[in-house]
Amino acid sequence: MSSENEPFSYQRHSRLSILSSWRMSLFSALERPVPDLAVEIGASRSSSPKETTFQAGQDGELSRQAIYRDLTARNINLAGLCLGWALSTVALATGIYMVATSNPPLPRWLVNRVMNMGMLDYPFPQLDLPLVYIQGHRACHLPQTLVVSISILLNIGLTAVLDSMNFIHSTTMRWALWREGRLWHNSNPRLFSCAKSSGSPYANRWFGNALAALSLALSYGATSLIASIIYVRGVSDGDIGVTSERVNGYRYGLDFNGWAVVGLGIGLFIQAAISTSCLFSSCTVETWSYNPITNAKACKLLEPPKPTSINASLDRPTLPKRSQPSVLTIIPSIRTFRLLLYLLTSLLLACTIITVVFAHQSGSLTQSYVISQTGRADFSTYVQSFGLIYAPYYLPSGDPYDARKDYFGLLIQLGAQGILTLCLHSAEVVVAAVRDEKVWRRASGRSGARFDGQDSCMHGLLVCWETWVLFVFKVLANCLFGLAVSCNLFVFVALLPLAALTLLVGILAGWVDALARWRPKGPQPATFGELRRLGSLLGSRGEEKKQEEVSGRLFWGDLGDLKCERDREGNLVRRVGTVGWNLEEVRMDKLYFELGYEADTCNGNNEE
């Protein structure tokens, strides 16, 4: 049987050509091509069970040797995991020390000053008390520019570290689903899917996902509270008043919340522990690549061939289409994630309207209110205090310097942050599916689609602008949320940051909706990372497959006509497929085999 006519015959490219002759002869048994699986299955009927099991195991090992594992991607994210462990250790040690020790000495630049921190005024020294600062807090004077930008810098660093650790979790999740026979897509909703078998790692089960969601919400929520802006209003009169607004010395600084530092350490610790647990089971990960072509190829090599093609429409001649269906048609579950973003936008809009109503009743929609609260009327002050509403969780009988219940404020921030975290994860699912499709669609371009060693983790990240846009959205959304909702003896809700967050999430929802409705142009079939479908479209003919492995690039196009197949008018039917070199463009007026369009509607054909 000719290997060219067998779409599921796999031939392994020789990897031992650089060894010496004695080693070549020693391992010559491993250098023969993988047997034609279709013939092997037929022959196995007359073989003993032991011979069949041995042959299947041998074929599986040879297939695994042909898979590009992309250890560079693993090592890059392993460095992020090590950084996560280091940050969690430092944060936990520092936070516990801040919380467990008594009131720290009062910084000299705050002596005889009235400080505004977190929309509240604190006179120092405290009334009839020694020169000490707030229990569980530390103050540090910094330039005004750094004070204003610290929230963005913290969220950028936190997002980068968490994304590195989440990559390890999501990759092991992908192959845990594959072992259970439930892997359908290259990019999976990590927090909304889980492994079910008892043999899967604990970190990939439902409770592992729940802990991962908790760690994300706790990390971002703690970051929102970890640093509050300090502004020195003036010289203290010994009570809560100000004798003079002219101050010699520092005006701006940051207050660091010990309980928030502890919360950040716990959040990073949980996520680092989950990712480390996943690494202990990394022997079951066939490849660390995010590339859908590499992963589809790996799944195709490891799975035994089916009696019939996954996509029966590959065997019927079809006219090319000028545009392909959107991800809403191919992956209907995307509608749920798109809906979550619209629900979040509606919730934020309702909260904004409620805030306007209460702020109007309290009189905080005026300039005089802003000045009375903070002692100044610059832009950052308006962002902080204009339209401010609040509700206490601190008991008036308690001491605002010592009995602050900062841990309770952290729990409130955690609950509110969790909703935003899950909705931002929904956006990641849609963006990842579109990214997978764009990787595949490069196959019909002049340069072809990169895969295996030609498409490293860093290269794929740099060329995907959607990933960068989503990264910016996540950073800005978490920064605005920290400005809109904050806990400092009271739960404060600021109108301007809340309105800006509502607008930002609305733009994000519209952008994600546009990505979900995007219909790729050209005759190349769309897959959006659906691995079985993508695997059925990949070429597997012997010489063509070797060329793909050598070049590390995949080209999709016109493979020529079939001499034995004609349409009703007597014209030769042509064939499309993938090879390792440039191909001619598909002719829109010709019939083709292996276009596979009928699978577009296998999951539903109604787009919203």
pLDDT digits 0-9 by tens, 113-137: 888 887 788 888 765 667 888 888 9
pLDDT digits 0-9 by tens, 442-481: 888 888 887 766 555 556 666 788 889 999 999 999 999 9
- Least confident interval from 30-39, 75-84, 160-169, 407-416: 30-39
Q: What's the pLDDT score for residue 455? A: 58
- Least confident interval from 41-45, 239-243, 448-452: 41-45
Is residue 69 over pLDDT 70?
A: yes
Are 595 and 578 part of one and the same domain? yes
Are 396 and 508 part of one and the same domain? yes
Q: What's the pLDDT score for residue 72? A: 84
Most confident residue range from 12-21, 103-112, 492-501: 492-501
Give percent of the chain above pLDDT 90: 29
* Residue 355 in domain: yes
Q: What's the pLDDT score for residue 197? A: 74
* Residue 608 in domain: no
**CA proximity to 348, closest of 400, 289, 424:** 424
Per the CB < 8 A criterion, the answer to whether 352 and 499 are in contact is yes
What are the Cα distances from residue 385, in Å, to 272, 369, 493, 558?
37, 8, 9, 64
Q: What's the pLDDT score for residue 605? A: 40
Are 439 and 462 part of one and the same domain? yes
pLDDT digits 0-9 by tens, 309-361: 444 455 677 889 999 999 999 998 899 999 999 999 999 999 999 999 999 99
Most confident residue range from 184-188, 368-372, 540-544, 563-567: 184-188
- Number of structural domains (the chain) is 3
Per the CB < 8 A criterion, the answer to whether 170 and 195 are in contact is no
For residue 233, give the H/E element and its range.
Answer: strand 227-236
Are 81 and 199 part of one and the same domain? yes
What is the rounded CA–CA span in Å between residue 158 and residue 168? 16
Are 45 and 82 part of one and the same domain? no
Are 296 and 393 part of one and the same domain? yes
What are the Cα distances from residue 10, in Å, to 17, 178, 394?
19, 20, 68
Is residue 540 over pLDDT 90?
A: no
* Residue 143 in domain: yes
Domain boundary among 21, 37, 65: 65
Are 132 and 44 part of one and the same domain? no
Q: What's the pLDDT score for residue 198? A: 65
Q: What's the pLDDT score for residue 181? A: 85
- Least confident interval from 168-182, 372-386, 578-592: 372-386
Other beta carbons within 10 angstroms of residue 147's beta carbon come to: 21
Local structure of 111: helix, strand or coil: coil
Specify the pairing of strand 252-257 against strand 227-236.
Answer: antiparallel
Are 176 and 238 part of one and the same domain? yes
Q: What is the pTM of this model?
A: 0.80
pLDDT digits 0-9 by tens, 77-110: 899 999 999 999 999 999 999 999 888 888 888 8
Q: What's the pLDDT score for residue 20? A: 38
Direct distance between the N- and C-terminal alpha carbons of the chain, in angstroms, rounded to an integer: 47
Most confident residue range from 257-266, 464-473, 481-490: 257-266
Are 271 and 332 part of one and the same domain? yes
Local structure of 141: helix, strand or coil: strand
Is residue 12 over pLDDT 90?
A: no
* Residue 607 in domain: no
Work out the angle at residue 38's Cα, subtended by the Cα atoms of residues 32 and 42, and round it to the nearest 5 degrees.
105
* Residue 308 in domain: no
Are 100 and 158 part of one and the same domain? yes
Burial class, 207, CB count within 10 angstroms (exposed 0-12 / middle 13-18 / buried 19+): exposed
Are 322 and 371 part of one and the same domain? no
What is the rounded CA–CA span in Å between residue 512 and residue 517? 9
Burial 102-117 (b: 16+ CB within 10 A, else e): ebbebbebbebbbbbb
Is residue 543 over pLDDT 50?
A: no
Locate tokens 């502890």: which residue? Answer: 262
Is residue 538 over pLDDT 50?
A: yes
* Residue 505 in domain: yes
Averaged pLDDT for residues 548-556: 69
Are 291 and 319 part of one and the same domain? no
- Least confident interval from 193-207, 258-272, 495-509, 556-570: 556-570
Other beta carbons within 10 angstroms of residue 561's beta carbon come to: 17
Averaged pLDDT for residues 153-161: 92
Domain boundary among 459, 489, 517: 517
Is residue 425 over pLDDT 80?
A: yes
Tell me the pLDDT of the chain averaged across its residues.
78
Give percent of the chain above pLDDT 70: 75
* Residue 135 in domain: yes
What are the Cα distances from residue 377, in Å, to 359, 369, 493?
18, 10, 19
* Residue 286 in domain: yes
pLDDT digits 0-9 by tens, 366-411: 888 888 777 677 777 788 888 899 888 776 655 666 667 888 889 9
Query: What are the two backbone dihedrals, phi and then psi, of residue 114, each rounded to the nearest 5 degrees?
Result: -105, 120
Domain boundary among 36, 65, 94: 65
Averaged pLDDT for residues 554-564: 80
Domain that holds residue 54: 3-65
Confidence of residue 8 (pLDDT cuts 50, 70, 90): very low
Confidence of residue 161 (pLDDT cuts 50, 70, 90): very high
Q: C-alpha 581: how far from its chain's center?
A: 33
Averaged pLDDT for residues 290-305: 82
